[in-house]
C-alpha cells in the first residue's frame, strides 16, 4: 500500500511539474476540445498500470484542462523504446515511468 501511495505521489508531482514548466509550444498536445494531452509511458505490469490509470483519472478531475493517456509496453522492449524516444525531436511521451 505504501508503494502505491509513493507511486501516486511521484506521478502527480511529475505531471504537475511538467504542466507548470511546459513551454507555450503552440498547439502541440492540444485536442479539438481545447484540452492538453499528456502521454505517460510505463511498462506492462497490471497492478501498476491500474494504479497509474487511477492516478491519471484523479489528475484529470483536479485539472480538467488536461487529458492523460497511459500507454504501457512490454518490459523487454520498454528500455529501448525510451532510449529511442529520448533521442528523437518528434516522438515520445511527456512522462516516463522508470
pLDDT in tens, 27-85: 556 676 889 999 999 999 999 999 999 999 999 999 999 999 999 999 999 999 999 99
CA–CA–CA angle 68, 7, 29 (5° rounding): 20
Tell me what pLDDT residue 9 has.
Answer: 47
**Gap between the Cα atoms of 63 and 54, Å rounded:** 14
The topology (CATH level 3) of 31-98 is D-Maltodextrin-Binding Protein; domain 2 (3.40.190)
Confidence check: pLDDT of 22 > 50: no
More confident residue, 16 or 82: 82
Confidence check: pLDDT of 19 > 60: no
DSSP strand pairing (36-43 vs 66-73): parallel
Q: Where are the domains of the chain?
A: 31-98
Residue 94: pLDDT band (50, 70, 90) is very high
Amino acid at each position: 500500500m505504501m508503494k502505491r501511495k509513493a507511486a501516486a505521489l511521484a506521478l502527480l508531482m511529475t505531471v504537475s511539474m511538467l504542466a507548470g514548466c511546459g513551454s507555450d509550444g503552440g498547439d502541440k498536445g492540444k485536442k479539438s476540445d481545447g484540452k492538453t494531452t499528456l502521454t505517460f509511458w510505463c511498462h506492462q505490469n497490471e497492478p501498476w498500470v491500474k494504479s497509474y490509470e487511477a492516478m491519471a483519472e484523479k489528475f484529470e478531475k483536479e485539472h480538467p484542462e488536461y487529458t492523460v493517456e497511459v500507454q504501457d509496453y512490454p518490459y523487454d522492449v520498454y528500455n529501448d523504446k525510451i532510449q529511442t524516444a529520448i533521442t528523437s525531436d518528434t516522438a515520445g511521451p511527456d512522462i516516463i515511468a522508470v
